[in-house]
């Protein structure tokens, strides 16, 4: 008798588990229905933005003058991720080749963009100098391709990047 009850209980639980996904698919707004273009296009995506290269110039922020950041960093690009290449922030260095060729372009993190500055390998009184390694990272808003208007270029789907961190690593010998 116990064996029969256990078998019936197991079959009832199995049937319940099989019925739950079927009801979720049939319900309005369940997994079986799409969200619709209006709802899925309402949210803008934020993607990672990374550019690295060698330092050309550096201006430190003077915290005593204003609350806004006056720090700027200019670098010669040696590498960039796909979102940085496609954003239109970096100039194409070889239009004859497929894709965006950014190696050798000059990129400047503008003043007013509040970012965290990290200095690696600097021993006092050493300061950043031309040729040091620079890595710029942040986030960039992008509109989905299917949500953009017809004829919109890839660069137009990207907004201005939000630079969150600039890391400068010492590459010259310390004095």
Could you tell me if 9 and 44 lie in one domain? no
User: Is 38 strand, coil or helix?
Assistant: helix
Could you tell me if 25 and 106 lie in one domain? no
Structure tokens that stand for 128 in this block: 């950043």
What are the pLDDT digits (tens) for 159-174? 999 999 999 998 876 6
Could you tell me if 12 and 42 lie in one domain? no
For residue 142, is it within any domain? yes
For residue 175, is it within any domain? no
Could you tell me if 42 and 68 lie in one domain? yes
**Rg (the chain; Cα; Å):** 26
Structural domain boundaries enclosing 8: 1-34
For residue 10, is it within any domain? yes
For residue 47, is it within any domain? yes
The mean pLDDT of 106-114, rounded to a whole number, is 84
User: How much is the pLDDT for 175?
Assistant: 52
Per-residue DSSP letter, 158: B
User: Is 51 strand, coil or helix?
Assistant: strand
Could you tell me if 100 and 162 lie in one domain? yes
For residue 174, is it within any domain? no
Domain count, the chain: 2
What are the pLDDT digits (tens) for 126-145? 888 899 999 999 999 999 98
For residue 61, is it within any domain? yes
Q: Measured between alpha carbons, how far is 126 from 143 in angstroms, rounded to an integer?
A: 43
Could you tell me if 18 and 43 lie in one domain? no
Could you tell me if 67 and 52 lie in one domain? yes
Could you tell me if 79 and 157 lie in one domain? yes
The mean pLDDT of 41-48, rounded to a whole number, is 90
Could you tell me if 22 and 59 lie in one domain? no
Could you tell me if 51 and 115 lie in one domain? yes
Could you tell me if 71 and 132 lie in one domain? yes
Indicate the pLDDT class of residue 33, thresholds 50, 70 and 90. low
User: Is 166 strand, coil or helix?
Assistant: strand
Could you tell me if 27 and 96 lie in one domain? no
């Amino acid at each position: 008798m116990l064996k029969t009850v256990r078998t019936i209980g197991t079959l009832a639980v199995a049937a319940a588990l099989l019925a739950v996904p079927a009801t979720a698919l049939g319900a309005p707004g369940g997994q079986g229905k799409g969200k619709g273009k209006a709802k899925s296009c309402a949210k803008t995506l934020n993607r990672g933005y990374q550019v690295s290269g060698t330092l050309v110039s550096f201006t430190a922020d003077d915290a005593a003058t204003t609350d806004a950041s006056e720090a700027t960093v200019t670098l010669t690009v040696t590498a960039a991720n796909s979102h940085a290449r496609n954003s239109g922030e970096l100039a194409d260095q070889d239009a004859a080749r497929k894709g965006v060729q950014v190696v050798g372009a000059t990129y400047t993190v503008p003043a007013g963009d509040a970012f965290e500055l990290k200095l690696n390998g600097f021993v006092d009184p050493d300061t950043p100098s031309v040729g040091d390694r620079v890595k710029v990272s942040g986030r960039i808003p992008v509109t989905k391709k299917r949500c953009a208007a017809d004829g919109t270029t890839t660069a137009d789907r990207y907004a201005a990047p939000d630079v969150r961190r600039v890391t400068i690593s010492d590459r010259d010998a310390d004095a």
